[in-house]
Amino acid sequence: MTLIKSISGIRGTIGGTVGDNLTPIDAVKFAAAYGTWIKQQRNKEHYKVVVGRDARISGEMIQKLVMNTLVGMGIHVVDLGLSTTPTVELAVPMEHADGGIILTASHNPKQWNALKLLNTKGEFLDGDEGAKILEIAESDAMTFADVDSLGKITKNKAYIDLHIIEVLDLPLVTVKPIEERRFKVVVDGVNSTGGIAIPLLLERLGVDVIKLYCEPNGHFPHNPEPLKEHLTDLSEAVKKHKADFGIVVDPDVDRLAFMDENGEMFGEEYTLVACADYVLSRTPGDTVSNMSSTRALRDITVKHGGMYEASAVGEVNVVKLMKKNKVVIGGEGNGGIIYPESHYGRDALVGVALFLSLLADKNMTVSELRKTYPNYFMSKKKIELTPGLDVDGILKEIEKRYQNEQLTTIDGVKIDFPESWVHLRKSNTEPIIRIYTEAKSQAEADALADDFINEIGEIAKI
């Protein structure tokens, strides 16, 4: 079992030993460190933090621990209850709050949970801010309020509705043309909060919704990472109901993938490509994604006359480069759409609305739309880390062996070959090395990944 402390928050498995897992004591300690950091940012009389969670079985327990820790520090809490990551991100500035905490382990299985931390803009903390909170947590330099200065908890269940209103009000979301198409869509909410938010949004857009696993009880019916091999039920449902397409999100609704009318994956990487195609056709500009994302976004951006640049992996890195380059849309190839016109966070609700607007505009099926984009194939594999494995040394050796190729080393090692690429990096959220490749065929992408897995194995034995 595992506890991972990083600049983006604390993530771990429920139960077990303090310091080795996400136990109640670890949740309280880290919440207190965050509360201390919040108070260090501004000297004021009252502080406020927004807290929401996905539908994980452990979510209610962890949320109560976190909220009451903040209350004990004299910080007022706005309790969104069951919510989504992008909803909490939007709620923070709308509440004029000092920060936010989302209790979710994203795509990790049900035994995991995490505290994901936001600043006063509703955006993830940067490296320096996250490092400071880790430092506070290790120092135990936290003080609590006296009995007359305790914070209060206020419940607010309106924010998913407010989020939907915000999405529908975006200038590029064409509500009437979408309504006129009368789409039929199957939604796989993986029994988390996507099962609440996505159907509500679709119904407001006049879509006929068929719900699959939309009961927010935290019992994930399949691996919650929205990949093809986990979505056979969605594929069958799309075909059975003769739906126009299928939608799947991860448990906290910041990742989005589509399935075409034939029950075939549109491609998680192509969620951003399609949304960017639509946005760039209306508002020309530049784009950003991370180094592990498809080249197809670069191709689409250039087609529309824009410039593309890749950041290090991690939402905070993508957002930082997006702001620097003043791009019109960006995100991550894992189905994460970041649309600055809304907010600087991955948002599946925004992605759904933009995708529907694109389909209404193009007046074509999802499979026909997919054929209009450059055809790349990705392989996403991983190597479980074992104690004593020198990951940094392994990556240095890979860098040395491929020094004559086009290399990028801002985040692990990425090697760009003429017709393919490979990106090797240590995960920030799991004890693994990720091996992502892309090529002109699935066989080539898989073979390239397997070659590097074998090469890493050989280096590890040296």
User: Minimal CA–CA distance to 177: which of 397, 357, 336, 371?
Assistant: 357
Q: What is the model's pLDDT at position 462? A: 53
In this predicted structure, the answer to whether residue 252 has a pLDDT above a threshold of 70 is yes
Active site residue 6: no
Query: Over the stretch 18-29, which tens digit does the pLDDT of each residue have?
Result: 989 999 999 999
**Mean pLDDT, residues 373-400:** 89
Q: Are strands 287-290 and 308-311 parallel, antiparallel or unpaired?
A: parallel
Q: What is the model's pLDDT at position 429? A: 66
Q: What is the mean pLDDT of the chain?
A: 95
- Among candidate residues 83, 106, 289, 311, the one labeled active-site is 106
Written as one string, the DSSP assignment of 365-380 is -HHHHHTTS---EEEE
In this predicted structure, the answer to whether residue 11 has a pLDDT above a threshold of 80 is yes
Half-sphere exposure of 288 (CA within 13 A, CB side): 23
Most confident option among 40-44, 134-138, 343-347, 375-379: 343-347
What the chain holds in terms of domains, given with CATH numbers, is 3-157 (3.40.120.10), 163-370 (3.40.120.10), 377-460 (3.30.310.50)
**Burial bucket for residue 182 (CB in 10 Å: 0-12, 13-18, 19+):** exposed
Q: What is the model's pLDDT at position 315? A: 93
**Mean pLDDT, residues 192-203:** 98
Q: What is the pLDDT confidence band of residue 127, given thresholds at 50, 70 and 90?
A: confident
In this predicted structure, the answer to whether residue 1 has a pLDDT above a threshold of 60 is no
The proportion of the chain whose per-residue pLDDT surpasses 90, expressed as a percent, equals 87
